[in-house]
Chains A and B, each alone.
Chain A
């Protein structure tokens, strides 16, 4: 429990540091935000009015205090361009991003873990010789290029899937839940998930392979062989289960990272997600929106990190936190 408390406090400090860095980062950028999001044909008077409205006319420190106070109250402010509460804008796209990320990660880690296990099992085979470079290549391929190839094949070539967006044009659903679980939404989800999964599977595959190689040298594997269990059973039931642990951490961290890192995929597939919102906001010097989006991403990342730490303790009895 003490560990939990310390870890929690640690998390809060990290979040505070991130919030402060974000604040400074945007304000120290060379461009005046009031020019970027305003029509440059605005008069000076109009510009000052907008500056005052967003508090940009006050001293930096005062802006910081207001910002921190607002954050503590869960108030992220109004975006410069949409003139709307930042939280609403972020929450409107967050489910799309979470769904895209989690589906892709699950696919990537299931596939990656199985692939990694069989690669280790067939060490030195032709299968391994071909697969390892292939895995490395997909890991290194630019997502944009990968996405365009996937589009060219499955959308424009085979006509199996739609080529962009999250729903067919003008589709209407009674609720957000109904929309997300509709067949239409799932069809739109397939290609971005496939692309992201192809990109993500390299890490779990390689990680799993090296873990397996290590574990296969351990005595209990030899023991299982001596018991006369089938190879398949030994691989899946005994070795793979033990090799999975580090993947749990990688999964949790990967989740945090992918939440904000899907910009490219979201653009290629016109997927309405957080990454696109973030890039738009940065490109238009929309501080409050960019800050809000970054904070949400940082929050997810830090929380997932936290969860990974706790999970590790639960899953692996060898890891004990303090108190001795």
Chain B
């Protein structure tokens, strides 16, 4: 009894010299690992996420860990995870898809960038200089194929390190009435779904019903080309205000209001405007308007949400009456997707006076709601009631006039009634569905005119291990957790089959960039146990302990 600690201490003292001895004898356990807590959205607010957390806990308990799942209301969860970054062990989290995220740069560069660990994206405090080198390289690589190779490397590195344990890419389920809309003209955009710019532009009515009536399950917030107010609002801004480029259905940027984009040198880009464009008020769209559109978001702090998207522009100027030249601070592969396809073109004659007026006021431009918004996109504003509906009319002057007459978005808060309305024709395009996908599928079976389309999201769900807190700073530990995770079961049980297993920050929806077969994602419980024991973790009486000599420094909370 008395001699045991002495023996251990003496062994430790000569640890360096006795590596061989250490390997030969059974490893001495360190402190037992404290109870680990997974924070998740509460069951009521996100049943899928909560169930996924339960499945994780079940699996990881088999490794000898004591795991608790704690459900919190969404705002409280966000506040805990985002504002008090050293206070939690693991959190269920998600990144959502947006058209400009069709370029993998935002995730590739920001998610694991230690510079953002304190207050930004890298909330797990991952720090891998090798990875950052690749991430830096890909954003400056203008050759698509070379960049693809770099992003493959980046995904492999992340797979090795497991800074996040990716779970699934959810599927979005939407539907429309195919007796009203010609199915071939309803376009699925990769990672986004059929609720896309291309559908709204090109969907062809088959009957006298020439209005597309969409639904949204919550109220609109604002309609402002300089304010990213919410997901629903962005469907509207996207079709009212035009952009120099658009993300095509496969997720790559294509010239749009610009006829062509010329890369003069790595930091100089020319956009040549399509001739004869007009604002909705009839005034011609000029190069000055375009230059202004890219300068406005950078005005002081007046448009904080769009400002980051123009931060790389050193100078923007008119070369001739159709060409706009962008000078960049650093070469950027994502410039086309995250700036040219993102910034709304706004009329200088409307917004210059507004910005001038705001110059010495505390308010920013997000407080401005134009009574009659003016853009140059395929749809013109007709009227807006935040809690009820928004009505847009096809812009007859647009170079590709939409096939429909009007685009109407109805706010319908009752999911059950939404399906009934789709059946009755009160809406003819289900653009927002937050209910059970199975119910929608059954509904479509009974109503043959309803076509359901499910699309893999470009966003993903994951569990974030906080690397500020051991044992999550140990890649082997994270890898073992990942290996013990049954993603197939999770997709089938928690997401009802409407999700696919994930192991990368690039969703398979971004076909060009996502690395195929990055991992077979097979569950390997024994492999996980072996990884842990290889890394020095020891099971004592079914409870997992740290490797030899490692103390538990944190209390469970």
| Residues of A bordering B, CB below 8 Å | 30-32, 35-36, 39-41, 43-47, 49-50, 53, 78, 81-84, 89, 92-93, 148, 151, 155-156, 159, 162-167, 169-170, 172, 266-270, 272-273, 276-277, 280, 284-285
Contacts and interface: CB of A to CB of B under 8 A. Distances in A.
A83 B366 contact: yes
Interface in B420-436: 420-421, 423-424, 426-427
A89 B367 CA distance: 13
A263 to B, nearest CB: 10
A169 B219 contact: no
B75 A31 contact: yes
A31 B413 contact: no
B417 A268 contact: yes
Interface of A is mostly: loop
B207 interface: no
28 contacts: A31-B78, A35-B75, A35-B78, A36-B75, A36-B79, A40-B78, A40-B82, A41-B120, A41-B121, A47-B119, A53-B362, A81-B221, A163-B417, A164-B414, A164-B417, A165-B389, A165-B411, A167-B388, A169-B408, A169-B426, A170-B211, A172-B383, A268-B413, A268-B414, A270-B412, A272-B385, A276-B413, A285-B75
Nearest to A89: B386
Given A169-B211, A270-B412, 17 more contacts: A31-B73, A32-B83, A35-B78, A47-B119, A49-B301, A81-B221, A81-B229, A83-B366, A84-B367, A92-B385, A162-B426, A163-B417, A163-B421, A164-B410, A164-B421, A169-B389, A272-B411
A165 B426 CA distance: 10
Contact of A269 (B82, B362, B414): B414
Nearest to A159: B424
B424 A156 contact: yes
A273 B503 CA distance: 44
Contacts of A50: 304
A41 B110 CA distance: 10
Contacts of B230: 81
B78 A165 contact: no
Nearest to B409: A169
Contact of B386 (A45, A92, A156, A167): A92
A32 B411 contact: no
A49 B366 contact: no
Contacts of A81: 221-222, 229-230
A39 B121 contact: no
Given A163-B426, A166-B388, A169-B211, A36 B413 contact: no
B387 A277 contact: yes
Nearest to B369: A84
B420 A170 contact: no
B391 interface: yes
Contacts of A40: 78, 82
Contact of A163 (B229, B367, B388, B420): B420
- Most chain B beta-carbon contacts within 10 A, residue among A49, A167, A270: A270
A172 B383 CA distance: 9
Interface string B276-313: 00000000000000000000000001001100000000
B437 to A, nearest CB: 21
B396 interface: no
Contacts of A166: 388
A89 B385 CA distance: 10
Contacts of A78: 363, 367
A43 B301 CA distance: 13
Contact of B364 (A53, A89, A268): A53
Contacts of B227: 83
Contacts of B219: 276-277, 280
Interface string B257-279: 00000000000000000000000
B417 to A, nearest CB: 5
B218 interface: yes
A82 B75 contact: no
Contacts of B221: 81-82
Nearest to A144: B414
A165 B410 contact: yes
Contacts of B78: 31, 35-36, 40
B420 A151 contact: yes
A164 B383 CA distance: 19
Contacts of B423: 156
A169 B213 contact: yes
B228 interface: yes
Nearest to B383: A172
A163, A167, A269, A277 interface centre (most CB from chain B within 10 Å):
A163
A44 B118 CA distance: 9
Contacts of A285: 75
B406 interface: yes
A49 B362 CA distance: 10
A36 B387 CA distance: 20
B76 interface: yes
A165 B119 CA distance: 42
B208 to A, nearest CB: 14
Contacts of A268: 413-414, 417
A170 B388 CA distance: 10
